[in-house]
Structure 1
Amino acid sequence: MVNQAESFRRRARKLITFANGLLAIARELEGYSVRSEWGLPDAQAPVADRAMSEDHPYWLELARRAYADRRRRAKYFDISLFGEPAWDILLDLFIAAKEGRKVSVTSACIGAAVPSTTALRWIIVLENEELVSREDDPKDARRAFLHLTTKAYSQMIEYLSTMVPAASNECEELFV
């Protein structure tokens, strides 16, 4: 019974990950916008509504820049001063989701730029907070992949949308 429940959980995680990817692609292809349905200009829509209504390609660019900024700091300062492995993991998984890549637990630990044991503890915290889900590799029982949950993906978009000036209608021009 336990194995069947775990099997259902794994399948549910796979479906959630697949649905996140499809949703992102559909929104990019359709140019879906709740704002246009409401007849509101960009600047008048709340940040959360903008984040949820559009999964724009510039969120990927912002996430890449944030991750690169964190790595660049390590060249000038002791990396232990800025230890945020959970944030590095979330950024890494968001970038991977947008690029259609899978991230193994090992790769996520390396990307967190902390000892593996520390990164693994933070992965467990992220799983407990339902921000990350784990998927066993069907081809290699020693490996597992991590994915953002729908909740985390939405929160990442919402956060990244706050990095763009809310009053500007020229946000896209920043990344052209």
Structure 2
Amino acid sequence: MDGIAERRLETCRRLITERQLVGQHIGFNLCPCPAWDILLDLYAAECEQRPIYLWSLSVAANIPVSSAHRKIIELIDRGLLARSADPEDGRRVTVSLAPAFRPVIEDLLDRIDEKAGPRK
């Protein structure tokens, strides 16, 4: 992984941590953002070469599995995500960022990193 990719992943992990802290201190139900939580989790997982399954995204988004499934379908319909059968176990469904969306989230992470200012 090159320096740019590492910086993007670090920014993504910081955002995931921020979302978790906000949820824990204020309440996930008061500050919901499941689509963003799903996108961040998928980006990190893909960088780390981990497969992501439908059920695990509900954990990342702090919402019930049925709600996560509806949100994932919405993100697929908007062209942000793709889903496919797991090559090792066709009964399991994997979810990934749509190839056309990956540059969009990378640009977003770069801009967030720029606005955050220099790191210590």
What is the TM-score of this pair, normalised by structure 2? 0.88
Which stretches of structure 1, 4 residues or longer, exceed 3 Å deviation after superposition? none
Q: Specify the SS of the correspondent of 2:47.
A: helix
Question: How many residues are matched?
Answer: 119
Aligned pair partner of 1:64 in 8, 13, 16 = 13
Shift of 1:111: 1.1
In structure 2, what is the Cα distance between the partners aligned to 1:164 and 1:111? 22
Q: State the Cα RMSD in Å.
A: 1.8
Amino acid in structure 1 at the alignment position of 2:11: L
Q: Secondary structure at the match of 1:80?
A: coil
Separation in structure 2 between the aligned mates of residue 141 and residue 109 of structure 1, nearest angstrom: 20
1:80 aligns to 2:29 (yes or no): yes
Identity %: 30
Q: What does residue 144 of structure 1 align with?
A: 93
Shift in Å at residue 84 of structure 1?
1.0
Larger Rg: 1 or 2? 1
Task: State TM-score, norm by structure 1.
Answer: 0.62
Q: What is aligned with 1:114?
A: 63
Which amino acid is 1:125 matched to? E
Larger RCO: 1 or 2 (CA < 8 Å, sep 6+) = 1
List alignment gaps of at least 5 residues for structure 2.
none
Secondary structure of the corresponding residue to residue 30 of structure 2? helix
Q: What runs of 5+ residues in structure 1 fail to find an aligned partner?
A: 1-24, 32-54
Greater helix content: 1
